[in-house]
Amino acid sequence: MNKKIIFGLALSVLLVLQACGPKKKPDETTVPARAVQVPVFNADSAYLFVEKQVKFGPRVPNTKAHEQAADYFVNQFKKQGATVIVQDFDATTWDNQKVQLKNIIASYTPAAKKRILLAAHWDTRPYADKDHEKKDASFEGANDGASGVGVLLEISRLLGQEKLPSVGVDLILFDGEDWGTKDNVKSAIAMPEGFEDWWCLGSQYWAKHKHQKNYSAYYGILLDMVGSKHAQFFREGGSLEYAPSVVEKVWNTASRLGYTDYFVKTNVGAITDDHVFVNEIGKIPMIDIVHYQSGVGFFGDYHHSRKDNLSIISKETLGAVGSTLMNVVYYEE
C-alpha cells in the first residue's frame, strides 16, 4: 500500500478521536427491512488464518515462504468448495528485480450473474523501510497483507460450510501490491509495458487480464490492514468517488451491527491501493477498507516496520470487519 495521498485533505486535526470502547448498541435507523440468516463470522478462526500466514515467514515474492503460502491458499480454497484459478505472471519491480507473481481467485456459485468481489493483497513488502532502526530488515506483515487475507479465508470457510448467499462471491488475493518505491527514491528503470505504477502489480495485471473473459462484479470491497488493535476505518476518498453507494452500504451495515467505533463516518483523502486499478482499468466499482489513524493519517505507526507483527493483531477488529462483510454479502438479493 502506498502512503502517497492523491488528493489528501488535511482533515486529521479536525477529526474527533473516537473512543474504542465496548461494542455499541445497534443503530435502529439502519435495520434492514427483511431478515436474513447470516453465518456467524468466527474471529478466532480468522486470527488463526493470520497466524498461519505469519508462520510461513514474510511472503516476499521469489521466496520459499511466498511459494508455500500460495500453495496453502489454493488448497484451503479448494477444501472449502471454491472454484480456484491461479493467475501466474512475471513482473519487474522498481529496483529491477524480476519476480514471479500469482493472483489467486476463488469463486463461489460461479454461474450466478450478480457477483460481489472481495479482495486483499497477500504479498509482504521486502523491507521494513519505515522502521526506525533496521530499514533493510524483513517483517511479518501480520497486518499489511495477512489480516485482509485472514478475513477472506474465514469467509471462504463459512461459504464452504454454510448455506451460500443469493449472490455469487469471488475472493481475489492480489500479489505484488507492496514492492513499491521507497520514500524519496526514484526508479532507475522505465516502467515496463503493461504497468503504470510500481505499486499494486497484481491488481493492475488482473484488471487487464481478468480470470474470465468479460468478468464483472456488481461491486468490490478491498481489505488492507484490517486487523490491528482499535483500528479505525474512515471513508477513503477514492472509494467515495468511485463507489459512494457501496461505502454507504458498508458503513451503515457496520453501524447496524454496533461497530461504529471501527467504521467511522468521516471522509478522508484518497490513496493508491489495489481498488484504484480495479476501478480505473477493471471498470468495477470497488471501495477500500483501510486503517486510518485519527490525528496521524493513513495506517498506523507499525506500517512497513518490524512492529507489523502478530502482537498488534486483534481478534475483535478482525471480527468487526468480517461480520460486516458477511452481512453485506448475505443481504444482497
Report the interface residues with Zn ion, using CB under 5 A.
1, 144, 178
Nearest one of 1, 136, 130, 140 to 58, comparing CA atoms:
140
Residue 144 vs 170, nearer CB to Zn ion: 144
Residue 181, classed as helix, strand or coil, is coil
Q: How far is the CB of 299 from Zn ion (least distance, A)?
A: 8
Buried (b) or exposed (e) across 160-190, using 16+ Cβ within 10 A? Answer: beeebbebbbbbbbbbbbbbbbeeeeeeeee
The CA-CA-CA angle for residues 307, 312, 314, to 5°, reads 165
CA distances from 219 to 36, 80, 249, 288, 328 (A): 20, 23, 11, 11, 11
Q: Are 121 and 103 in contact (CB under 8 A)?
A: no
Q: How far is the CB of 145 from Zn ion (least distance, A)?
A: 7
β-pair partners for 85: 105
**Cell numbers placing 51:** 497466524
Residue 178 vs 288, nearer CB to Zn ion: 178
Q: How far is the CB of 331 from Zn ion (least distance, A)?
A: 31
Q: Is the dihedral of CA 90, 285, 288, 213 positive or negative?
A: negative
Residue 121 vs 157, nearer CB to Zn ion: 121
Residue 157 vs 303, nearer CB to Zn ion: 303
Q: How far is the CB of 75 from Zn ion (least distance, A)?
A: 26
Residue 236 vs 261, nearer CB to Zn ion: 236
Q: How far is the CB of 183 from Zn ion (least distance, A)?
A: 13
